[in-house]
Amino acid sequence: MQLSVFSDYALRVLMYLAVAGNRQVTVREVAERYRLSRDHVAKVAQFLAREGFVTTARGRSGGMRLARTPVEISIGDVLRRSEAGSGPVECLCDGRVTCAIVSACGLAPLMAEASDAFFASLDARSLADALPRAGAVRRLLGLAA
């Protein structure tokens, strides 16, 4: 299963916030450290705030921070929400299905089962599990130890 760039960025933002400590982090900071588009990171930040993974504050000392501890944030939950409406094959996605054999095909239930197993595996993993070497990640991102 291939994740969207949006989901990839969502996980990267959450990982950054986890190693940045409990301080406000700006979209600009995250975008610069990862060398990503500021606009894309801003969209991801809005999504993460709307879904309750981060809290945000406006103004001069504004930014974002994790709304929960890394142990409380399930990777499966993040991906299930960020990948909502998509699937490994067209017939499992939201929207019009154009496949000519959809009415007789047995691939959809197999792919649905695999997708369910993928998410179930990641439901058992937290953001903290994605950072077993948090200190090394912090250094690679240029954050103080």
**Own/partner pairs, 26-35, CB within 8 angstroms, 24+ separation:** 26/62, 26/63, 26/64, 27/63, 27/64, 29/63, 33/141, 33/142, 33/143, 34/141
Query: pLDDT of 54-87, one tens digit each?
Result: 999 988 888 999 999 999 999 999 999 998 877 7
Residue 128 exposed, middle or buried by CB count within 10 Å (0-12, 13-18, 19+): middle
Helix 38-50 × helix 5-19 angle, to 10°: 80
Query: pLDDT of 103-122, one tens digit each?
Result: 888 888 888 898 889 999 99
Q: Using the predicted structure, report yes or no on whether residue 124 has a pLDDT greater than 70.
A: yes
Q: Are 27 and 45 in contact (CB under 8 A)?
A: yes
The tokens of 24 are what?
Answer: 């406000």
| Percent above pLDDT 70 for the chain | 99
Q: Are 45 and 64 in contact (CB under 8 A)?
A: yes
Q: Using the predicted structure, report yes or no on whether residue 51 has a pLDDT greater than 90.
A: yes
Q: Are 128 and 18 in contact (CB under 8 A)?
A: yes
Q: Using the predicted structure, report yes or no on whether residue 93 has a pLDDT greater than 80.
A: no
Domains of the chain plus CATH, in order, are 5-140 (1.10.10.10)
Closest CA relative to residue 118, chosen from 95, 99, 92: 92
Whole-number pLDDT of residue 38: 96
Give the residue with greater pLDDT, 129 vs 107: 129
* 73-91 burial: b if 16+ Cβ within 10 Å, else e: bbbbbbbbbbbeebebbeb
- Beta-bridge partners for 64: 25, 56
Query: Which stretch, 57-61, 87-91, 124-128, has highest mean pLDDT?
Result: 124-128
Mean pLDDT of 8-20: 97
